[in-house]
Structure 1
Amino acid sequence: MSALPKHLEFAPPPPEGTGRSVGAALVVHALLIVALTAGIQWKQDNSLSVEAELWSAVPMAAAPKLVEVDAPPPPPAPKPEPAPKPVVKAPEPPAPNRDAEIALAKKRKVEEEKKLQDAVRAEERRKEELKKEVEKKAKAKLDEDKRKLEAKKEEERKDKERQEKEKEKERAEKERKEKEAKKQAEQKDSKASAEEAKKLEAIRKENMKRIAGLAGASGSENATGTAMKSSGPSDSYGGRIRARVKPNITFDPSSVSGNAAAEVEVRCAPDGTIVSRKLTKSSGNSAWDNAVLKAIDKTEILPRDTDGRVHSPLLLVFRPND
């Protein structure tokens, strides 16, 4: 393949069929000239010439006679101009090889298309990398926001647990103080009740001793009884006490098996007011024991015996199915 001239190296390839097109154009123009020439009619002008003389209607004077004057010298001959230098034409470039030009043009076109495709692919890769970078940053930001949210929730949970622990601690401290205060109050009340009971018992003994002495009781000076003579309660007294206490018992007998007895020691004032009660023997069922003790507390006053006396202390026995 022959090399193209330098000035045609980057020129676009000429279209095919140029020679045929130029030849056809020349033929068409020649035919057009022949047609125009054949249509013209060549004619000779044989018209007669006419001569006319003009006479002036106004008389005019003749001009003076021409005086001959010597002719001026001829001008100097011009210097001969130097002969022009022959123009040396550059050799015409050889006729280009059309096939080579077409092949080269196709090759360049393929290379340009390839470069264009490479540029498009590079741009697509750049856009894809930019998209991945944006997605990566967005994901990182999302993960960071999620981590911060989880950390905030964890901190709130810890704060909540800490507050609950503090509240629980305060509640426990308050309950402890209330229990201590209640215990102290109960101890105080128990101590006061015990002292009051002792005082009442002492007053009762003193009164009974004094009454017994006035009535001519038969006991010794150190006797602690209240009767004129030593004697126990009547046979019906126990039934009367049970009849007084039992309606105050709130308990379902069907909830226990057996008929175990709860024994309670009760101490009363001379007027029958219950001063104290104590469970001396459990039935084995704490619910039944508590129901009996609450019933005695609710009764408050025990009935007198047939002789008008109130015996103290008394040992009362209660069974669920009696």
Structure 2
Amino acid sequence: MHAATDRLEFAPPPPPGLLRSLALAVLAHAFLLAALTWGVHWKSDDISVSAEAELWSAVPQAAAPKLIEAPPEPVVAPVTPKAPIVEPAPKPPPPVRAPEAQPDLPDPAIALEREKLRQKKALDLKKQQELDKQRVEKQRLQQLKEEELQQKKQQLEKQRLQDKRDNDKKAAEEKKKAAQEAQRKEASQAQEDAKKLAIQRKANIERMTGLAGASGAATARGTQLQSSGPSSSYAGRIRARIKPNIVFVDDVDGNPAAEVEVRTAPDGTIISRKLTKSSGVKSWDEAVLRAIDKTEVLPRDVDGRVISPLTISFTPKG
């Protein structure tokens, strides 16, 4: 509908005198037809023309089987009379065609303008199709990107939940281990307390049962059967054992004392020595320590015991 409207809008105006031209054309054709009719003469003559015709079956038919008969008597073929010659009817004259009206040629400027409009519409349609295609592709890419982002979020959420479950499980296991360790420590501490209590009870029983054999004085306030301190002569015996091993030739002012703590084994072998109080003279302190190392074994007391630990004081002029 729109195309027809455009065509009518841009069509050239009809030329003037159209009816007069049609009337003249009809009149000319009438004169021409009358002249042709007057000029045709019908002729007829008595010359007959013979004609023959053969009839063919339109549909193929199968032949019947051949009959075996006695040889027929010779028959004289009849003479076929010739068909009368019929003169063909004359062909009618061809109809006179009216001259066709020349089509109105469109204006070249209008045709060019229409072609430009058509090309512009086609170009606009192509551009619109390209834009629609790009928009659809962009939407598809955006949708793929959103789906990929959603999948990543789901994976991260799943990993976070898995990590949380693992951490909770690990914390529960650590808590369980800590509880078991605390129970084990409590059980171990209870066992140690029970052992200490048993030892203490045994010591109390032994102390209570051995008070009758104590060797202390009437005013003694100890709890052992006998005193554990050294005898009055034990210090002199130790000095007599260590002093020959002291090598000291320096002159010192006064008589400074060096105190040494000595620890021994039950047989008197010196295990360790430690300077607990310095004399103020480093060379004298070192000489005393070297002498103790050289001594190696301390003498026993009158009761056969070796007191340990024992603090001994040494002076250069003592």
Using the size of structure 1 for normalisation, the TM-score is 0.43
- Name the TM-score, length of structure 2 as normaliser: 0.43
